């Protein structure tokens, strides 16, 4: 579980008119919050229009604390004409939306928004349970490459490890069995995937993995906790991957390493029918970009890691192919991609039937290449890891 903090910090960002409270606010008297109250009142003087109250990482709040905050917000709206207060909560801190929501009923100028309800434009695509079988087969095919790579990137037994955006947790189970970490935290924002992950670990008798519901861009995990942090196939589903990398950097110990894998889908290939396959995967890159994700991020990982502050960045790539094992596994992945990209995403983008037909054809041709006795089908992946400076 995420470690709860026992004290709190308050910060005012004038540029964004954002007042943030982080940690656990459990005073025994209102007087204990004098510093917070003073900063809030001082901040308020500089605000025009909307003040944002960020409580995404306020993990605990007792009734005395809530009463003080409630009075501050209501008084501010009553005394400052035209002021609106937007309270930003997170689903990760389960009580906060409901609790702050009661203030909207008292004053219309206080609104409460759960920021991760629709924070990422395409998040819904990866948070439903149809993704489970796709992720399972993907990991089956990538693990045979990554199991030897992980050691080259610095993973050793007994380390404290975190797998962020762990999906259905199968990678975490494989890590636990193969590398026997001292601690293993697996965090994701999809509840169906986490439920599945817990069940799989139980069924396989794998103990000790801490599955955590959380938001990778605002983790409740503390700084400098992990020797090795992994984040696989996930930077590409955020519109601002640099925010996630910053968080991975934060929770990594100085001297530890962060390991990411990413794709460049337009480089998927196959023969026969190579041209049709190429056309479709170029379109995949475009449709994913339409939803503000970048499925072409693989080769950009080095720059992103260096820009975040990592040093000693190591990169390598590998190709999952139909010849790695059972070609039907490869075909199953492509079928699931077809449903996701040419089904859900194309429908949501409002694509016309002729386009969708051609889009589907490339996936069908990739499956044909994968299952053809003389065919070859590939899915390239880039691995990058970097060290957090000591
Ligand atoms: C493409 S999947 C990759 C899953 C896993 N790493 C794998 O390789 O099988 C992306 C994962 O990111 C998770 N995710 C999306 N938004 C997230 C967020 N804000 N915080 C944490 N996880 C998130 C999704 O639920 C999904 O499980």
Residue among 188, 193, 291 to mutate when testing ligand 1 (max atoms within 8 A of CB): 188
Ligand 1: nearest atom to the Cα of 232 = 6
| CA 75 to each of CA 10, 47, 342: distance values in angstroms, whole numbers, following the listed order | 19, 15, 52
| Ligand 1 neighbour 36 (Cβ under 6 A) | no
The residue whose CA has the least distance to atom 17 of ligand 1 is 189
Residue 130 confidence (pLDDT): 63
Over 159-177, what HEC string results? CEEEEECCCCCHHHHHHHH
Summarize pLDDT for 273-301 with one digit per residue, the tens: 999 999 999 999 999 999 889 999 999 99
User: In the predicted model, what is the mean pLDDT of the chain?
Assistant: 91
Architecture per CATH, domain 8-117, reads as: 2-Layer Sandwich (3.30)
Q: 11 CA to middle of ligand 1, Å?
A: 29
Instruction: Enumerate residues 6+ apart whose C-beta is below 8 A from 366.
Output: 268, 270, 273, 277, 280, 334, 377
| Ligand 1 neighbour 193 (Cβ under 6 A) | yes
Residue 2 confidence (pLDDT): 42
| Ligand 1 neighbour 261 (Cβ under 6 A) | no
| Ligand 1 neighbour 215 (Cβ under 6 A) | yes
Residue spans of the domains in the chain: they are 8-117, 123-387
Residue 193 confidence (pLDDT): 86
Rounded CA-CA distance 5/220 in Å is 9
| Ligand 1 neighbour 140 (Cβ under 6 A) | no
Instruction: Enumerate residues 6+ apart whose C-beta is below 8 A from 169.
Output: 163, 186, 188, 193, 194, 196, 197, 198, 200, 201, 209, 211
Q: 247 CA to middle of ligand 1, Å?
A: 14
Residue 132 confidence (pLDDT): 80
| Ligand 1 neighbour 188 (Cβ under 6 A) | yes
Q: 296 CA to middle of ligand 1, Å?
A: 17
| CA 78 to each of CA 43, 53, 70: distance values in angstroms, whole numbers, following the listed order | 16, 17, 12
| CA 374 to each of CA 5, 233, 272, 292, 369: distance values in angstroms, whole numbers, following the listed order | 59, 30, 9, 37, 8
Residue 225 confidence (pLDDT): 97
Phi and psi, residue 380, nearest 5°: -85, 145
Which residues, given as ranges, of the chain have pLDDT below 70?
1-6, 116-130
Give the other-Cβ count within 10 Å of 124's Cβ: 12
The end-to-end CA distance of the chain, in Å, is 26
Reply yes or no on domain 123-387 having CATH 3.40.50.10320: no
């Amino acid at each position: 579980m995420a470690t709860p903090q026992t004290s709190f910090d308050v910060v005012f960002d004038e540029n964004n008119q954002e007042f943030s409270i982080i940690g656990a606010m459990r005073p025994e008297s209102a007087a204990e919050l004098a510093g917070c109250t003073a900063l809030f009142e001082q901040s308020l003087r500089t605000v025009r229009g909307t003040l944002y109250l960020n409580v995404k990482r306020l993990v605990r709040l007792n009734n005395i604390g809530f009463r003080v905050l409630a009075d501050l917000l209501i008084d501010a709206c009553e005394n400052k004409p035209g002021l609106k207060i937007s309270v930003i909560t997170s689903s990760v801190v389960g009580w906060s939306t409901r609790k702050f929501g009661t203030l909207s009923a008292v004053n219309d100028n206080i609104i409460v928004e759960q920021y991760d309800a629709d924070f990422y434009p395409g998040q819904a695509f990866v948070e439903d349970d149809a993704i489970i079988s796709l992720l399972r087969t993907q990991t089956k095919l990538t693990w045979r490459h990554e199991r030897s790579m992980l050691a080259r990137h610095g993973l050793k037994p007994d380390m404290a490890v975190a797998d962020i955006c762990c999906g259905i947790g199968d990678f975490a189970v494989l890590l636990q069995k193969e590398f026997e970490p001292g601690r293993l935290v697996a965090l994701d924002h999809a509840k169906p995937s986490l439920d599945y992950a817990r069940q799989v670990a139980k069924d396989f008798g794998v103990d000790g993995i801490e599955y955590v519901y959380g938001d990778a861009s605002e983790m409740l995990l503390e700084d400098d906790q992990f020797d090795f942090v992994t984040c696989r196939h996930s930077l590409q589903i955020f519109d601002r991957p640099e925010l996630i990398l910053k968080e991975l950097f934060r929770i990594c110990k100085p001297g530890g390493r962060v390991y990411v894998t990413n794709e460049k889908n337009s480089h998927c290939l196959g023969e026969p029918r190579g041209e049709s396959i190429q056309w479709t995967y170029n379109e995949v890159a475009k449709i994913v970009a339409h939803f503000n994700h970048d499925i072409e991020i693989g080769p950009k990982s080095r720059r992103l890691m260096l820009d975040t502050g990592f040093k000693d960045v190591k990169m390598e790539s590998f190709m999952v192919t139909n010849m790695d094992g059972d070609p039907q596994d490869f075909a199953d992945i492509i079928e699931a991609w077809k449903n996701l990209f040419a089904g859900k995403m194309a429908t949501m983008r409002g694509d016309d039937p002729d386009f969708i037909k051609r889009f589907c054809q490339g996936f069908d041709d990739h499956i044909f290449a994968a299952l053809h006795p003389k065919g070859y089908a590939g899915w390239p992946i880039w691995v990058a890891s970097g060290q957090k400076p000591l």
